[in-house]
């Protein structure tokens, strides 16, 4: 594997690191999330409606964010049976947030499993995803209980129009603690996704990388080029064969993260990236992973 390619990819990773954001911008982002959290705490009292406090999730918490695009996600655990189930729960959270925040400078959308908010603050758009989840049975969820087996939540999937079970605490821990040398591969894929405007769920990318980490052995020095090639060698044939993914939080199969045709298209585009990495074609690599000079 070429030292030149790896030096370039390391420069790319550095250019997209959150530490390159101005401190006042990061503070503004965190202030907006804190504002949303305070409102949720007031709108939904603990114990009677909520099973626990809202907690951070998403790429920023898992340290898989890039500085040009990340959501400051919040997961909100609700009591079992709140609003007669997960669908009513999500509808209520969407309507409550829309009533409170919707304006000419703030947009509120009803996403697949989250309520998505976009705050315009000067030249910046700050995105916050609120993921409402209901405990599996009454009083089964508690902030003070550290047992992950008691942290499962029922979400409502708007696309499927059905309830889905996950464990966001476990997702966060696995990505934070187990990705290790595979984290650069995920970050580079997120850079590629952003720069090419490729429509693929960021969590789906995380799970593809996680499966490659767990199911395909890699030996020797784990440079960014080597690890990314390793992940692509695993991902591309899986996508070509219309693969499903497994949610690492709940261990549940996720079949419809993309349509079959979109999976084939993604495999074709990633094959070109893989070929460029194998051939050490710096021109294509630079075009696929441009350095962020902003």
- Average pLDDT for runs of 10 along the chain of length 294: 88 93 87 95 96 92 84 92 96 98 95 95 89 96 93 95 95 89 93 94 92 86 93 96 92 90 97 96 96 88
3-state helix, strand, coil in the chain (%, to 5): 50, 20, 30
Q: What is the pLDDT of residue 1?
A: 63
Q: What is the pLDDT of residue 137?
A: 94
- pTM of the full structure: 0.90
- CATH number of the structural domain 18-168: 3.30.460.10
Angle at 83 (CA atoms; ends 80, 84), nearest 5 degrees: 70
Q: What is the pLDDT of residue 165?
A: 95
Q: What is the pLDDT of residue 218?
A: 85
Q: How far is 288 from 232, CA to CA, in rounded Å? A: 14
Q: What is the pLDDT of residue 58?
A: 84
The number of CA neighbours under 13 Å toward the Cβ of 284 is 13
Q: What is the pLDDT of residue 219?
A: 81
Q: How far is 138 from 134, CA to CA, in rounded Å? A: 9
């Amino acid at each position: 594997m070429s030292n030149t390619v790896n030096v370039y990819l390391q420069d790319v990773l550095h250019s997209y690191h959150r530490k390159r954001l101005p401190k006042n911008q990061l503070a503004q982002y965190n202030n907006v999330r804190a504002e949303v959290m305070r409102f949720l705490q007031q709108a939904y009292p603990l114990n009677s409606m909520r099973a626990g406090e809202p907690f951070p999730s998403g790429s920023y918490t898992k340290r898989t964010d890039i500085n040009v695009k990340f959501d400051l996600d919040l997961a909100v655990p609700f009591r079992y049976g709140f609003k007669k189930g997960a669908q009513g729960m999500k509808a209520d959270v969407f309507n409550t947030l829309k009533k409170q925040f919707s304006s000419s400078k703030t947009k509120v959308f009803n996403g697949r499993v989250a309520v998505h908010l976009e705050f315009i603050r000067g030249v910046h758009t700050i995105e916050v995803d609120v993921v409402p989840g209901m405990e599996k049975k009454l009083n089964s969820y508690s902030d003070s209980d550290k047992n992950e087996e008691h942290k499962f939540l029922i979400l409502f999937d708007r696309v499927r129009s059905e309830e889905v079970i996950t464990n966001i605490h476990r997702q966060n821990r696995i990505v934070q603690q187990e990705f290790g040398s595979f984290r650069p591969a995920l970050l580079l894929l997120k850079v590629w996704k952003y720069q090419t405007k490729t429509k693929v769920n960021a969590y789906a990318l995380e799970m593809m990388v996680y499966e490659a980490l767990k199911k395909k052995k890699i030996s020797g020095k784990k440079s960014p080029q080597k690890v990314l090639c390793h992940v692509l060698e695993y991902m591309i044939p899986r996508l070509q064969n219309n693969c499903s993914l497994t949610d690492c939080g709940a261990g549940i199969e996720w079949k419809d993260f993309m349509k079959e045709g979109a999976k084939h298209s993604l495999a074709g585009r990633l094959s070109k990236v893989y070929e460029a990495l194998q051939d050490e074609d710096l021109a294509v690599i630079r075009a696929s992973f441009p350095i962020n000079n902003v």
